[in-house]
């Protein structure tokens, strides 16, 4: 499904919000998330999507892109493990899905077709479907 997502724009541009530059002792995670907000969302890798989603950064814009990746490869892998993008998407707070119910329906379709999953992914799927 091709959504109306402007892939040429960054989260900063899409949200019309520029975060202040990180200062002092910030973690690599904070610095990375901050930098990714300036990257066009169409250029984000699976790992970058996973990282932003796990941190609840720009979900309105990155969840549709992540679901497109998951439609093609439900077990898409960032830097952690096979299916780490799916785990990140499945474990978002319920409000993320109530704000975009069509995305939640799409994710339900994706996970309903999955078979052999690790125990942790099986748990994540079960929790998501139970909502």
Over residues 45-80, the pLDDT tens digits come to: 999 999 999 999 999 999 999 999 999 999 999 999
Write the DSSP string, 71-99: HH-TT---SS-TTHHHHHHHTS-HHHHHH
Instruction: Answer yes or no: pTM beyond 0.85.
Output: yes
User: Model confidence at 5, in pLDDT bands (50, 70, 90)?
Assistant: confident
Cα radius of gyration (the chain): 15
Residue ranges per domain, the chain?
Answer: 11-130
Q: What proportion of the chain, given as a percentage, has pLDDT over 70?
A: 97
């Amino acid at each position: 499904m091709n959504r109306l997502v402007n892939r040429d724009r960054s989260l900063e541009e899409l949200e019309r919000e520029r975060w202040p530059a990180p200062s002092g002792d910030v973690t690599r995670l904070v610095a990375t998330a901050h930098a990714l907000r300036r990257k066009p969302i169409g250029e984000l890798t699976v790992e970058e999507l996973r990282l932003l989603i796990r941190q609840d950064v720009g979900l309105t814009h990155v969840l549709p892109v992540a679901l497109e990746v998951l439609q093609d490869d439900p077990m898409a892998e960032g830097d952690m493990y096979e299916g780490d993008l799916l785990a990140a998407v499945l474990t978002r707070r319920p409000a993320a899905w109530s704000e975009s119910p069509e995305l939640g329906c799409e994710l339900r379709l994706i996970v309903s077709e999955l078979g052999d999953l690790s125990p942790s992914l099986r748990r994540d799927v079960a929790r998501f479907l139970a909502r």
